[in-house]
Amino acid sequence: MGLTMGLNLLLLMAMVATNILSLYHLSSTVQSPKATPTAQPVPDHLLHQLHTIRSAINHLTRLQHPTPTASSNAATATSSASAAVPPDLLLYSQLSLIASSCHNHPDLLHQYMNYTPFSMCPYDPDLAETLILRGCHPLPRRRCFSRTPSKPSSSLPLQPFPSSLPDSNVIWSKYSCKSFSCLNHYNPSLGFDPSLDSSRFSSYSSDLDLPVPQLLHIARSAGSPLRLGVDIGGGTGSFAAAMKAHNVTVLTTTMNLGAPYSEATALRGLLPLHAPLQQRLPVFDGVADLVRCGRAVNRWIPDTVLEFLLFDADRMLRSGGYLLLDRFFSKGPDLENKYKPLIGKLGYKKVKWATANKTDSSGIKNGEVFLTALLQKPVSK
Ligand SMILES: *[C@@H]1O[C@H](CO)[C@@H](O)[C@H](O)[C@H]1NC(C)=O
Ligand SMILES: *[C@@H]1O[C@H](CO)[C@@H](O)[C@H](O)[C@H]1NC(C)=O
């Protein structure tokens, strides 16, 4: 019976969460008729959520009012179904009453929470990231021991631009490369050779560059010095490394997509935050002096997600803080028609706004342009 209740609770929470989301969407469209003169069609994912809500309601109604003749059958069916739910999943569902998108992926969540408590966790970093990328963030906690490298080096680099990173501090089994030098060999631009990266944020070769000394100077001159920053999608942490050299603390959000970015960042003595682009970052309101969006933030992000991302950056920034869009790329006409108005919604002061054609092969093929913008949050807001 307890298990059945747990299942009901799970469905109820999924229902509440999707409802809140849909209500929010509907109310935001209703409240801003002027901002969107052309009525936007209801996005597919909302229709999908409404459908989920409807089936959840149907399901709950069936569970709560079983017909007298079918009741014993239904009870057996439910208890055998819920017997398969890992106990930690039910426990977690009760601890976290505001449900997240985890509930939209019950199979993956089920798989993730299917482990033996108090023993070694399954080695499933890809499953974890699959869930995170589907919006299941933060992931539920588990009561098991996660794997660690078998013979880690104890001599870790003391400065953020070391000549090499210790391979023995990474579990390489899920990657085709088994060392940092292999990663560098196949793709030197990924940032796994910190020494190669050291000039990236200190030199000026085009208008799109904003070298760190210049950035710090701009902020200092405006009476708004930088001490704390968040780098969204910061790869191996090279921006944080460059800022560390100037005594500025930067938190780097990163995912291990195809390479151990989080480990590399940490091995440089910088703090990696394992967070996707589409979820609220666990940083308190108004505490950051700077939020940087690197090339991970670009036209591939759906417009609405990007809008929420920018407003989350605004939330984290103190008044007078800076938002740095570092080589944001989009299709040429979209920059003027779509992204400029979107960025304009923040009402920030344009300190720098530089655009240039993106001249690599995909840039030329798609008519893409880069934007580097430094924007300052108004003081009185
Ligand atoms: C960073 O802080 C250290 C210790 O306070 C100081 O010696 C150093 O000069 C500072 N570096 C910069 C670039 O401000
Ligand atoms: C950028 O590309 C557009 C066409 O995509 C072209 O018309 C324009 O001249 C280019 N600008 C520069 C500075 O190369």
Q: How confident is the model at residue 199 (pLDDT cuts 50, 70, 90)?
A: confident
In the predicted model, is pLDDT for residue 206 greater than 90?
yes
Taking residues 224-229, report their average pLDDT: 98
Indicate if 275 and 361 belong to the same structural domain: yes
Domain total in the chain: 2
In the predicted model, is pLDDT for residue 233 greater than 90?
yes
Question: Does ligand 2 lie within 6 Å of residue 367's CB atom?
Answer: yes
Question: Does ligand 2 lie within 6 Å of residue 333's CB atom?
Answer: no
Q: Which ligand is nearest to the CA of 227?
A: 1
- 93 Cβ partners below 8 Å, 6+ apart? 6, 9, 10, 13, 99
Please provide the DSSP assignment of 165-178 as one string: --GGGS--TTSS--
Q: Residue 204: its pLDDT value, please? A: 93
How many whole angstroms from 72 Cα to the centroid of ligand 2?
72
Last residue of a domain, one of 83, 114, 133: 133
116 residue type, one letter: T
Give a yes or no: residue 145 inside a domain: no
Candidate from 81-90, 111-120, 161-170, 339-348 with smallest mean pLDDT: 81-90
**Cβ neighbours of 125 (radius 10 Å):** 15
CB contact at 8 A, 170 and 148:
no
Last residue of a domain, one of 108, 133, 158: 133
CA distance 272 to 266: 6
- 258 Cβ partners below 8 Å, 6+ apart? 175
Among protein residues, the one whose CA lies closest to atom 1 of ligand 1: 247
In the predicted model, is pLDDT for residue 260 greater than 70?
yes
187-196 b/e (C-beta count within 10 Å ≥ 16 → b): eeebbbbbee
Q: Residue 33: its pLDDT value, please? A: 39
Most ligand 2 atoms within 8 A of CB, residue of 334, 336, 357, 358 to mutate? 357
Among protein residues, the one whose CA lies closest to atom 9 of ligand 2: 357
Among protein residues, the one whose CA lies closest to atom 5 of ligand 1: 247
Taking residues 139-155, report their average pLDDT: 94
For the chain, list the strands marked E by DSSP.
Answer: 228-232, 249-253, 272-273, 288-293, 317-331, 349-357, 368-376
Q: How confident is the model at residue 68 (pLDDT cuts 50, 70, 90)?
A: very low
Question: Does ligand 1 lie within 6 Å of residue 246's CB atom?
Answer: yes
Q: Which ligand is nearest to the CA of 226?
A: 1
Closest atom of ligand 2 to 357 CA is 1
- Exposed/middle/buried for residue 242 (C-beta within 10 Å: 0-12, 13-18, 19+): buried
Give a yes or no: residue 317 inside a domain: yes
Q: How confident is the model at residue 322 (pLDDT cuts 50, 70, 90)?
A: very high
Handedness of CA 376, 290, 261, 189 (dihedral sign): positive
Going from the C-alpha of 147 to that of each of 112, 125, 168, 173, 333, the distances in angstroms are: 15, 10, 13, 12, 48
Last residue of a domain, one of 118, 133, 148: 133
In the predicted model, is pLDDT for residue 104 greater than 90?
no
Among protein residues, the one whose CA lies closest to atom 10 of ligand 1: 247
How many whole angstroms from 324 Cα to the centroid of ligand 1?
24
Closest atom of ligand 1 to 247 CA is 1
CB contact at 8 A, 211 and 245:
no
Question: What is the residue whose two structure tokens read 């944020």?
Answer: 201
Q: Residue 102: its pLDDT value, please? A: 85
Closest atom of ligand 1 to 245 CA is 13
Give a yes or no: residue 139 inside a domain: no
Indicate if 94 and 232 belong to the same structural domain: no
Going from the C-alpha of 126 to that of each of 237, 292, 338, 364, the distances in angstroms are: 21, 26, 34, 33
Question: Does ligand 1 lie within 6 Å of residue 247's CB atom?
Answer: yes
Pairing of strands 368-376, 349-357: antiparallel
CB contact at 8 A, 324 and 293:
yes
Give a yes or no: residue 141 inside a domain: no
Express each pLDDT in 14-66 by its tens digit: 444 444 444 344 334 334 434 444 455 666 666 666 565 555 545 444 444 43
Question: Does ligand 2 lie within 6 Å of residue 153's CB atom?
Answer: no
* Phi, psi of 310, deg, nearest 5: -65, -40
Higher model confidence: residue 5 or residue 131?
Answer: 131
Share of the chain above pLDDT 70, in %: 75
CB contact at 8 A, 323 and 346:
yes
Indicate if 107 and 57 belong to the same structural domain: yes
Question: Whole domain around residue 365: which residue ranges?
Answer: 167-376
Indicate if 281 and 185 belong to the same structural domain: yes
Among protein residues, the one whose CA lies closest to atom 11 of ligand 1: 246
